[in-house]
C-alpha cells in the first residue's frame, strides 16, 4: 500500500474520531437549546434601570397526544440595556437560548414615546433574531401579554402567531407588522409605521387585537380606533371580509367587502392648494339592510355606499394629517415621484399640513345578498 | 485416452489429443465401415450428444462412402476450418468436435446449450412490459434480442475472454446508431483485460472501468430484453456474457439510471409523474438523513416552531447526538436491506417485520432514537427502492454517508458543499468517453427512432 493511501486512511480515521468529540462550535443538539418564542420589553419597576425584559421559553413537547396544553417558562430581569438583560437571563437557563424561533416582540405602550432606535437596535442587529418577527404593542404590559394562556390554545400551538401569520384568523382588525417593516417605515421619511395593539384581559386568559397605533420618530403616537384600524387594513393591507356600515338616505347597510384597492397620486400645482388624488375601487356585497332591497337598484345602492365610504376615508386622512403622521406614505410617494433635491423633504413638510384629499370611490356592489 | 487405437489416429489429431488432459470426458471415437474411416475428437460433457448422433454419426452409416461423407461434413452450416492448435483446444473445451474425414480436418460446433430457460424478471420488475428476463445462454440471449429487434443493422460480434474461464461474450450494437469512438474504446478495453477469472456480467462491467474507486457505476447491468432494445436504439453497446442472465449496457450517463422501463408503457403524464417520483426518491434518500442532522443540530430556525418543539421533545432522553442516532439507525436499515436480499424469499417477510416494525418501536421506547428519526429512516429505506436501477441505489447509499459526515462537521453549509462535491464528482466522471452528466436533449420519439409524421 502506498504512503498516499496510508495518509488518506489515517486522515479519515482522524476525521471520524473528531466528529465524535464534537460538542463545542456550532453543533448544538435541538434538545440542548431552549427556544424563546417571545420577547417582551417593559419600562423598569426600579427607576435605576432602563428596561425590563421578559422571555417566553417553550418547553419541548414530548408527545402531542398526551400533553393537553403548552407549558412555558418565563424569565424576567431588569437592567440598563436589552443586550445586558438577555446576557443575564442566559445565566438562568441550563440550555442555550435559541432566538431563531422568536416571532413575537411585545413592546409596552409606555416605551413608545420618543426615539425607538436604541430599543430596536439590539433586535435588528442580533443575527439569530429573524427580521420577520411580529412586533406588537402590549397592554397593560408586555409581560402580561406574554403570560396570557388562552383556554383555546392547544399543545404545539401559539395563539399570538395565529393572529399575525394569517394561517388562523384573517380579521381586518388585525394589523401585521414585521420587524423589518416596522423599522423601515419608522425610519423612512414620509411614512409612519403602524403596530397592532394587543390587550390582555385581567385574568390573563384572553387577547383582544383590534386597535393599532401609528408611530413616528419625534411625533406623539396616535392610537387608531377599531374602525380606523379596519379602514387602514383594508386600504393598505388589502384585508378582505371588511364589514362597513352605511347610513345614507334612510338606508342602513352593512357591506362585506371582497376587495378594496387604493391608488393615489400627489398633485402639486403652482397657485393651487396641493391635492392628493385618491381613487379607491371596492367590490363587495350587502350583507345586512334595514329595508327590502331590489336588485335593479344595485347601482343606486353602490352610489350611496360609495359616497359615505369616501367621507369615512377622508375623515381618517384628515385625522392623521392633523396628528402629523403618515401611515399611508403620501410623503414617500411625493419623494418618489419628484426630482430629488435637498429641498424635497422640506417641501413636503410644508405641503403635508395643507394637503387636500380628493377621494373618489368606485363602489361595485355585486349583490343585495338575498333573493327578491 | 481410454479408447484403444485400433484404427490409428491421424497425426494432427494425435497431437491435439495428447495436449488434452486425461479426463474421463475426452473422447476419441473412430467410426469404421468397410473402408471408410472417420475420427471424432470431442469432450462428452460439453457436446450435445443427440445432435451429434443425428448430424454426424448417423449420416456416416447411411452414406456408406468416405468421399460423400467428407463432402457432407464440408457442407454443414456449423463447420469451421480448424484454426491453430491452441485455439482448437479451447474450442474443444467449449463444445466443438474435431472431425477427420476424407483426409481433411473440420471443426464442428455441436454445443450442449446451457440454461436456455427465460426466468421471470427479478431485479427490475414492471407491471406492464415483458415479464421474462434473459436466459443464461449466450446464443439464446442473442436470439432473444434479435427477436425483439428486427433490424439488419444489428451487429453481433462474438469474442472470447482471455482469462481462465474463456467465456464467450457477444457485442451487440446498431451499426447506424453506435458511436464509433465508444465502440473502439470498448473493444480496446476488452482486448486489454488482464484478469485471471471473470465469471459474470457484473464482474466484467467492473473490470471494464479504468478507475478503481468510483462510486457511481459506468455501465448498466440489466436483465430486461426491453431495456436492451431501448438502449440499442439509443446507440448504446450491449455486452452479453455466456452463463449470465444479465447484459451490460455501455456507455451510460447518469440519467439512464433514472429511467424505469415502466415509463415507456404509460401515458405521458403518468410516466412524468413516475419519473418525478423516482427523482424525489433519489433526493430523499440522499439528503433526508443529513437534513435531519443539519436541522436538529445546527439550524432549527429552518423549521416551523411547532415542528422544532416536537423534534426537541422527541429527542428527550436520547443519549447520543443526532448524527450518532442517524448513523446507528441507518446502519440497522442497511443490515435489514442486506438481510432481506440474502434470505430466501419464504423467510424474507419475517425478517423485515421483525427488523422494521419491532426494532423501530423498540428503539423509540428505549429512547435510543427519536420518533421523527424513525419516520425519516423509514422514508429513506422506502425511497431507496424507488430508484429504478439498483446500482444507483447502492451508490446513493454510500453517498449519503459522506453527506452525513460533512453535515455533522459543518451543518447546512456542509450539506450544500457535500452535494456540490457529489455533483463535481459526477461531472468529472465519464463512461467510455461519454460525459457522465451529459443531458440528452432528445425527445423519446427521436430516441426510439420513430419518424414523426
Closest-approach residue (CA) in chain A for B306: A156
CB contact under 8 A, B405 and A16: yes
CB contact under 8 A, A27 and B300: no
Whether residue A44 is found in the same domain as residue A174: yes
Contact A179, A190 (CB under 8 A): no
Residue A367 inside a domain? The answer is yes
> DSSP alpha helices (H): ranges in B94-179?
138-148
Whether residue A85 is found in the same domain as residue A170: yes
Contact A190, A332 (CB under 8 A): yes
Whether residue A276 is found in the same domain as residue A339: yes
**What is the Cα–Cα distance from B427 to B216, expressed in whole angstroms?**
11
What is the CATH classification number for the domain harbouring A362? 3.30.300.210
B166 lies within 8 A of chain A by CB: no
pLDDT at residue A20 tops 70: no
Number of domain units in chain A: 2
Whether residue A55 is found in the same domain as residue A171: yes
**Residues forming a β-bridge with A54:** A40, A76
pLDDT of residue A370: 65
CA distance A345 to chain B (A): 40
How many CB pairs below 8 Å do chains A and B form together? 81
CA distance A184 to chain B (A): 23
The model's pLDDT over A84-110, given as tens digits with 9 standing for 90+, comes to: 999 999 999 888 888 888 889 999 988
Q: Which span out of A158-167, A326-335, B343-352 was modeled with the highest average pLDDT?
A: A326-335
Closest-approach residue (CA) in chain A for B317: A31
**What is the Cα–Cα distance from A18 to A22, expressed in whole angstroms?**
7
Residue A193 inside a domain? The answer is yes
All residues of chain B having their beta carbon less than 8 Å from the beta carbon of residue A61 are 309-310, 312-313
Question: Positive or negative CA dihedral for A336, A338, A340, A342?
Answer: negative
pLDDT of residue A22: 56
Closest-approach residue (CA) in chain B for A99: B301
pLDDT of residue A372: 55
All residues of chain B having their beta carbon less than 8 Å from the beta carbon of residue A63 are 313
Cis omega (within 30 of 0) for bond into A140 = yes
Last residue of a domain, one of A197, A224, A251: A224
Whether residue A247 is found in the same domain as residue A124: no
Whether residue A356 is found in the same domain as residue A266: yes
Q: What are phi and psi of B448, to 5 degrees?
A: -85, 0
CB contact under 8 A, B310 and A28: no
Cis omega (within 30 of 0) for bond into B430 = no
**What is the Cα–Cα distance from B204 to B198, expressed in whole angstroms?**
6
Alpha-carbon distances, residue A156 vs A70, A148, A222, B208 (angstroms) = 7, 16, 36, 57
| Coarse DSSP helix, strand, coil percentages of chain B, rounded to the nearest 5 percent | 55, 15, 35
CA distance B433 to chain A (A): 27
Residue A56 inside a domain? The answer is yes
Strand arrangement of the beta sheet that strand B36-43 belongs to: B26-33, B36-43, B96-101, B104-109, B79-80
| Radius of gyration of chain A from its Cα atoms, rounded to whole angstroms | 26
Whether residue A232 is found in the same domain as residue A167: no
Last residue of a domain, one of A176, A191, A224: A224
* DSSP string computed for A146-208: HH---TTPPTT--HHHHHHSSSS---TT----BHHHHHHHHHSTT--EEEEEEEE-TTS--EE
Q: Compare CB distances from B298 to A26, A61, A103 and report the shortest one's residue.
A: A26
**What is the Cα–Cα distance from A280 to A6, expressed in whole angstroms?**
76
Contact B228, B145 (CB under 8 A): yes
> DSSP alpha helices (H): ranges in B76-214?
85-93, 138-148, 180-191, 201-208
Q: What are phi and psi of B261, to 5 degrees?
A: -65, -25
**Other Cβ atoms within 10 Å of B160 Cβ, number:** 15
Whether residue A304 is found in the same domain as residue A230: yes
Q: Three cell numbers at B102?
A: 476424407
Q: Which residue in B70, B78, B81 sits closest to B106, CA to CA?
A: B81
The b/e string for A333-343 (b: 16+ C-beta within 10 A; e otherwise) is bbbeeeeeeee
**What is the Cα–Cα distance from B92 to B444, expressed in whole angstroms?**
46
**What is the Cα–Cα distance from B291 to B283, expressed in whole angstroms?**
11
CA distance B313 to chain A (A): 4
Whether residue A74 is found in the same domain as residue A210: yes
pLDDT of residue B5: 46
Contact A37, A103 (CB under 8 A): yes
pLDDT at residue A194 tops 90: yes
pLDDT of residue B4: 45
Whether residue A195 is found in the same domain as residue A129: yes
- Residue, of A194 and B109, whose pLDDT is higher: A194
CB contact under 8 A, A128 and B321: no
Q: Compare CB distances from B296 to A26, A30, A128 and report the shortest one's residue.
A: A30
Residue A1 inside a domain? The answer is no
CB contact under 8 A, B323 and A161: no
**What is the Cα–Cα distance from A235 to A259, expressed in whole angstroms?**
9
The model's pLDDT over A54-75, given as tens digits with 9 standing for 90+, comes to: 999 988 877 766 766 678 889 9
The model's pLDDT over A240-291, given as tens digits with 9 standing for 90+, comes to: 776 778 887 788 888 888 888 899 888 888 778 888 999 999 888 888 888 8
**Other Cβ atoms within 10 Å of A144 Cβ, number:** 21
Contact A357, A317 (CB under 8 A): yes
Q: Three cell numbers at B282?
A: 433519489
**Chain B, window 298-327: residues with a beta carbon less than 8 angstroms from a chain A beta carbon:** 298-301, 305-306, 308-316, 318, 321-324
How many Cα atoms occupy the beta-carbon half-sphere of B248 within 13 Å? Answer: 26
CB contact under 8 A, B301 and A128: yes
Q: Compare CB distances from A29 to B297, B308, B405 and report the shortest one's residue.
A: B297
Whether residue A192 is found in the same domain as residue A231: no
Residue A15 inside a domain? The answer is no
| Radius of gyration of chain B from its Cα atoms, rounded to whole angstroms | 29
SS3 of A126, please? coil
> DSSP alpha helices (H): ranges in B102-212?
138-148, 180-191, 201-208
Q: Three cell numbers at B442?
A: 432528445
Residue A22 inside a domain? The answer is no
- The A-side interface with B (CB below 8 A) comprises 15-16, 19-20, 22, 26-31, 33, 35, 37, 58, 60-64, 98, 100-101, 103, 128, 130, 156-158, 161
Q: Compare CB distances from B312 to A20, A31, A103 and report the shortest one's residue.
A: A31
All residues of chain B having their beta carbon less than 8 Å from the beta carbon of residue A20 are 324
Q: Three cell numbers at A303?
A: 352610489
pLDDT band of A24, cuts 50, 70, 90: very low
Whether residue A75 is found in the same domain as residue A144: yes
Domain ranges, residue A267:
226-372
All residues of chain B having their beta carbon less than 8 Å from the beta carbon of residue A162 are none
CB contact under 8 A, B305 and A161: yes
Closest-approach residue (CA) in chain B for A31: B312
All residues of chain A having their beta carbon less than 8 Å from the beta carbon of residue B318 are 31
Last residue of a domain, one of A183, A203, A224: A224
Q: What are phi and psi of B40, to 5 degrees?
A: -120, 140
**What is the Cα–Cα distance from A91 to B289, expressed in whole angstroms?**
34
SS3 of B132, please? strand
| Mean residue pLDDT across chain A | 86
Beta strand segments in A43-102, E = 51-58, 72-79, 96-98
**Residues forming a β-bridge with A211:** A197
* DSSP string computed for A258-276: EEEEEEEEEE--TTS--EE
The model's pLDDT over A205-254, given as tens digits with 9 standing for 90+, comes to: 888 998 999 998 878 889 999 989 988 988 888 777 767 788 877 888 88
- One digit per residue, the tens of pLDDT, for chain B of length 453 reads 444 445 677 888 888 888 887 778 888 888 888 778 888 888 888 888 888 888 888 888 888 788 888 888 888 888 888 888 888 888 888 888 888 888 888 888 888 877 778 888 887 888 888 888 888 888 888 888 988 888 888 889 888 887 777 788 899 998 888 888 889 988 888 888 887 888 888 888 888 887 777 788 888 899 889 899 988 888 899 999 888 889 999 888 888 888 888 888 888 899 899 899 999 999 999 999 999 999 988 888 888 888 888 888 888 888 888 888 899 889 988 888 888 878 877 777 777 777 777 888 888 888 888 888 989 998 998 888 888 888 888 899 999 999 999 998 888 888 999 999 999 989 988 888 888 888 766 655 665 655 444
CB contact under 8 A, B411 and A27: yes
Amino acid at each position: 500500500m502506498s504512503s498516499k493511501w496510508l495518509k488518506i486512511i489515517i486522515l479519515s480515521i482522524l476525521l471520524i474520531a473528531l466528529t465524535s468529540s464534537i460538542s463545542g462550535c456550532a453543533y448544538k443538539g435541538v434538545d440542548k437549546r431552549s427556544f424563546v418564542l417571545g420577547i417582551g420589553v417593559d419600562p423598569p419597576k426600579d427607576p435605576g434601570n432602563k428596561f425590563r425584559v421578559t422571555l417566553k421559553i417553550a418547553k419541548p413537547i414530548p408527545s402531542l397526544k398526551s400533553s393537553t396544553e403548552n407549558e412555558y417558562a418565563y424569565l424576567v430581569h431588569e437592567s440598563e440595556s436589552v443586550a445586558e438583560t438577555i446576557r443575564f437571563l442566559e445565566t438562568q437557563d441550563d440550555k442555550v437560548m435559541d432566538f431563531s424561533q422568536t416571532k413575537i416582540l411585545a413592546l409596552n405602550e409606555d416605551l413608545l414615546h420618543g426615539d425607538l432606535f436604541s430599543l430596536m437596535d439590539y433586535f435588528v442587529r442580533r443575527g439569530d433574531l429573524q427580521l420577520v418577527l411580529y412586533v406588537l404593542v402590549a397592554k397593560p404590559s408586555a409581560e402580561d401579554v406574554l403570560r396570557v394562556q388562552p383556554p383555546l390554545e392547544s399543545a404545539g400551538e401559539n395563539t399570538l402567531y395565529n393572529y399575525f401569520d394569517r394561517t388562523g384568523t384573517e380579521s381586518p382588525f388585525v394589523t401585521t407588522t414585521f420587524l423589518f417593516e416596522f423599522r423601515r417605515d419608522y425610519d423612512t421619511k414620509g411614512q409612519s409605521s403602524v403596530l397592532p395593539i394587543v390587550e390582555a384581559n385581567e385574568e390573563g386568559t384572553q387577547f383582544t387585537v383590534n386597535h393599532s397605533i401609528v408611530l413616528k420618530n419625534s411625533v406623539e403616537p396616535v392610537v387608531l380606533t377599531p374602525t380606523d384600524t379596519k379602514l387602514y387594513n383594508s386600504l393598505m393591507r388589502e384585508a378582505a371580509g371588511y364589514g362597513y356600515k352605511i347610513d345614507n338616505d334612510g338606508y342602513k347597510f352593512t357591506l362585506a367587502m371582497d376587495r378594496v384597492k387604493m391608488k393615489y397620486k400627489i398633485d402639486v400645482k403652482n397657485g393651487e392648494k396641493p391635492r392628493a388624488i385618491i381613487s379607491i375601487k371596492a367590490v363587495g356585497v350587502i350583507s345586512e339592510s334595514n329595508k327590502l332591497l331590489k336588485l335593479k337598484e344595485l347601482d343606486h345602492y353602490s352610489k350611496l355606499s360609495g359616497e359615505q365610504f369616501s367621507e369615512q376615508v377622508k375623515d381618517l386622512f384628515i385625522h392623521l394629517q392633523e396628528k402629523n403622521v403618515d401611515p399611508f406614505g403620501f410623503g414617500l410617494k411625493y419623494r418618489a415621484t419628484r426630482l430629488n433635491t435637498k429641498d424635497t423633504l422640506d417641501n413636503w413638510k410644508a405641503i403635508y399640513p395643507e394637503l387636500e384629499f380628493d377621494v373618489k370611490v368606485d363602489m361595485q356592489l355585486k349583490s343585495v345578498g338575498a333573493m327578491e | 485416452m481410454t479408447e484403444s487405437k485400433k484404427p490409428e489416429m491421424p497425426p494432427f489429431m494425435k497431437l491435439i489429443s495428447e495436449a488434452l488432459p486425461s479426463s474421463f470426458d475426452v473422447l476419441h471415437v473412430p467410426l469404421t465401415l468397410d473402408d471408410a474411416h472417420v475420427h471424432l475428437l470431442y469432450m462428452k460433457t460439453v457436446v450435445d450428444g443427440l445432435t451429434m448422433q443425428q448430424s454426424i454419426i448417423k449420416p456416416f452409416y447411411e452414406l456408406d462412402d468416405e468421399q460423400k461423407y467428407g463432402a457432407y461434413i464440408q457442407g454443414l452450416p456449423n463447420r469451421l476450418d480448424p484454426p491453430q492448435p491452441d485455439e482448437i483446444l479451447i474450442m474443444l473445451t467449449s463444445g466443438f468436435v474435431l472431425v477427420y474425414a476424407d483426409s481433411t480436418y473440420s471443426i464442428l460446433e455441436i454445443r450442449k446449450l446451457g440454461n436456455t430457460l427465460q426466468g421471470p424478471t427479478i431485479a427490475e420488475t414492471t407491471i406492464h412490459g415483458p415479464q421474462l428476463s434473459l436466459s443464461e445462454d449466450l446464443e439464446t440471449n442473442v436470439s432473444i434480442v434479435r427477436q425483439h429487434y428486427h433490424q439488419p443493422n444489428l451487429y453481433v460480434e462474438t469474442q472470447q475472454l482471455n482469462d481462465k474461464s474463456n467465456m464467450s461474450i457477444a457485442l451487440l450494437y446498431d451499426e447506424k446508431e453506435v458511436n464509433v469512438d465508444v465502440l473502439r474504446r470498448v473493444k480496446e478495453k476488452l482486448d486489454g483485460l488482464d484478469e485471471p477469472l471473470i465469471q459474470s456480467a457484473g464482474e466484467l462491467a467492473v473490470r471494464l472501468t479504468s478507475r478503481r474507486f468510483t462510486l457511481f457505476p459506468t455501465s448498466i447491468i440489466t436483465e430486461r430484453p426491453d431495456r436492451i432494445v431501448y438502449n440499442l436504439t439509443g446507440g448504446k453497446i450491449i455486452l452479453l456474457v455466456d452463463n449470465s442472465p444479465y447484459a451490460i449496457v455501455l456507455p451510460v450517463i447518469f440519467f439512464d439510471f433514472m429511467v424505469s422501463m415502466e415509463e415507456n408503457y404509460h401515458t405521458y403524464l403518468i410516466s412524468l409523474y413516475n419519473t418525478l417520483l423516482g427523482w424525489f426518491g433519489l433526493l430523499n434518500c440522499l439528503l433526508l438523513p443529513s437534513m435531519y442532522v443539519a436541522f436538529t443540530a445546527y439550524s432549527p430556525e429552518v423549521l416551523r416552531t411547532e415542528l422544532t418543539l416536537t423534534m426537541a421533545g422527541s429527542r428527550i432522553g436520547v443519549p447520543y447526538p443526532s448524527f450518532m442516532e442517524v448513523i446507528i439507525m441507518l446502519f440497522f436499515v442497511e443490515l435489514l436491506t442486506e438481510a432481506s436480499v440474502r434470505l430466501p424469499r419464504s423467510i424474507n417477510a419475517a425478517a423485515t417485520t421483525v427488523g422494521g416494525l419491532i426494532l423501530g418501536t423498540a428503539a423509540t421506547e428505549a429512547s435510543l432514537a427519536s420518533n421523527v428519526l424513525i419516520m425519516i429512516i423509514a422514508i429513506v429505506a422506502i425511497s431507496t427502492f424507488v430508484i429504478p436501477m439498483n446500482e444507483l441505489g447502492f451508490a446513493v447509499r454510500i453517498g449519503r454517508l459522506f453527506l452525513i459526515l460533512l453535515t455533522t462537521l459543518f451543518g447546512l453549509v456542509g450539506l450544500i458543499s457535500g452535494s456540490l462535491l457529489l455533483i463535481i464528482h459526477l461531472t468529472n466522471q465519464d463512461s467510455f468517453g461519454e460525459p457522465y452528466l451529459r443531458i440528452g436533449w432528445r425527445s423519446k420519439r427521436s430516441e426510439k427512432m420513430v419518424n414523426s409524421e
